Amino acid sequence: MGELLLISVTKWGGRKTPGGSGGIYLIDFKTKRILKKLEVSNERSSRTFGGITYDKEYIYAAIMQDEKNDVIWIIDPSHFQVVKILEIPKIYDVHQIDIYEDILWITNTNYNEIVAVEKNSGKELGRFCVDPSQPEECVLKPIDKKKYKDYDYKKRIHINSIHIEKGEIFLTCFGFEKGNFNSSQLISVSWKRRNSQIIFGGLKTWDVLCFSWNWTNGLSELRWKRKEEKMPKQRRHYSPEKKVEILREHFKNK
């Protein structure tokens, strides 16, 4: 989109209660003006929009329909009007979405899943659960600690972002093995298409990355998973530019 930025925004209502609001905005970088917008409120859910992506024809946006289901809105970018709604069974708390060729890829965060559908029809092509041992996230409330005695709520995966390349899916999450930023936050899953079905292969964890958010002072930390490699031996605060520089250098040497 050149020097234009397309974003989705959600404003929470009360936690787990109706009253969420939000919008989709097309912003001009140079003038810092909102060129187009689609704003909504939701009386059936605490949130509205989640992930957003686009192709040459349409904008695709995940939106929370109620406290059990999400849907995908297909939007005409010329008029910012909804032209179609994809209702996909059992998707909830969708975070980022991505398009590769004619496939829409969805982070089905509540269920710890990746879901692949045809981008125009919503026909399901396949789904992959990153960790079937974990209960769905929406049931993990503090009052349920007795119900899940052997499960640590902070160790949930919680998938956030997705990026698709030919034959490989990249996901970022809270932490694959231990959760809560204590293990690999970057994982990948191999895939291939066979007729009208997506076949998922093996899952791989990437050693390095561990970004965490320090809620007390709003600073972001970079933590290294130390092995025998020459990496910082303690936590340090870095600027966003320094983080990018470090990561590029690291992957250049892989």
Tens digits of per-residue pLDDT, 174-186? 767 666 556 667 8
Residue 228 has what pLDDT? 35
Query: H-helix or E-strand containing 229?
Result: none
Residue 235 has what pLDDT? 44
Query: H-helix or E-strand containing 241?
Result: helix 240-252
Collapsing DSSP to helix, strand or coil, 225 comes out as: coil
Residue 150 has what pLDDT? 55
Residue 35 has what pLDDT? 92
**Within the chain, which residues score under 50 in pLDDT?**
143, 208-210, 212-236, 254
Residue 57 has what pLDDT? 95
Residue 7 has what pLDDT? 80
Residue 233 has what pLDDT? 42
- CA distances 134 to 128, 140, 158, 200, 243, Å, are 13, 10, 10, 19, 31
Residue 16 has what pLDDT? 55
Residue 66 has what pLDDT? 82
